[in-house]
Amino acid sequence: MPPVVHVYPLSRLVHAPASRWESLLKSIEEGKTRAFRYYLPLREAVVLFCSKGGKDRDQIVSGMVARARSAGGSRGAKVAKDNDDAFRVFESSFYPRIKAYKGDFLRESQTGHPFEGVTLVGSPHFEVLDQGGADRYVFLYPAGWERDEINAYLELLSIIVQKRFGKPPESLWCMNLRTGRDEKWKSSARVRKRCENAARLYARLINAMESEP
């Protein structure tokens, strides 16, 4: 059976030299849950805010801040502030550009898609119509990844959008919640090739490890 891999860890391996794979895999395994949870209150709040058409804003934000503070432990105040700052950027810079909310993908069970020897899983955060009436698949991006990392992540995510929804890569809408601007990106044959190579190498590595006596 092909190994299952999420777009996040695979994207980290795309541009990493072979000498870094072992340490990178370990750090990904140890930090994936924390990374996912850090901005989970933000994602849930944005989806709820959009689904309600912008109503109950203060209640939604206060709930988000409380969840972020509680989940952050000793760093609760910083986690809460980062989630709150990112929400405010979404509200001011992106929400006015959404014509209609169509649904979210936050808690659904994900069906993997075959890709170069692995089963690729992951999804955008939610679906909207933009002001031009086009279907857009939103990825909320509040972090500060390296340029190569975000390019690889979006390339892999666009593959899922194509396979699952039958939509072109440009339907992916990456909202940079630090700058308040669309994250400049387009599908690249060069990056796609690197993603394919990383997936094949990852599959070989996992299969070799599982076949060891």
Domain ranges of the chain: 4-211
Q: How far is residue 35's CA from residue 145's CA, in Å, rounded to a whole number?
A: 12
Q: Does residue 29 or residue 71 have the better pLDDT? A: 71
Listed residue (134, 195, 211) closest to 160, CA to CA:
195
Residue 123 makes CB contacts below 8 A (sequence gap 6+) with: 105, 108, 110, 157, 160, 164
| Residue 72 pLDDT class (50, 70, 90 cuts) | confident
Q: Does residue 107 register a pLDDT over 80? A: yes
Residue 80 makes CB contacts below 8 A (sequence gap 6+) with: 65, 66, 68, 69, 72
Q: Does residue 31 or residue 178 have the better pLDDT? A: 178
Give the pLDDT score at 34: 52
Torsion angle defined by CA atoms of residues 197, 203, 206 and 212, in that order, rounded to the nearest 10 degrees: -110
CB-CB contact of 12 with 143 (8 Å): no
Q: How far is residue 105's CA from residue 92's CA, in Å, rounded to a whole number?
A: 23
Average pLDDT over residues 97-124: 92
Q: How far is residue 79's CA from residue 67's CA, in Å, rounded to a whole number?
A: 10
pLDDT of 147-186, one tens digit each? 999 999 999 999 999 999 999 999 999 999 999 999 989 9
Q: Does residue 33 register a pLDDT over 90? A: no
Average pLDDT over residues 189-204: 93
Across all residues in the chain, what is the average pLDDT? 90
- The amino acid at residue 76 is G
> Number of C-alpha atoms within 13 angstroms, CB side, residue 48?
17
User: Residue 118 pairs with which residues in a beta bridge?
Assistant: 115
pLDDT of 48-58, one tens digit each? 999 999 999 99
pTM reported for the whole predicted model: 0.90
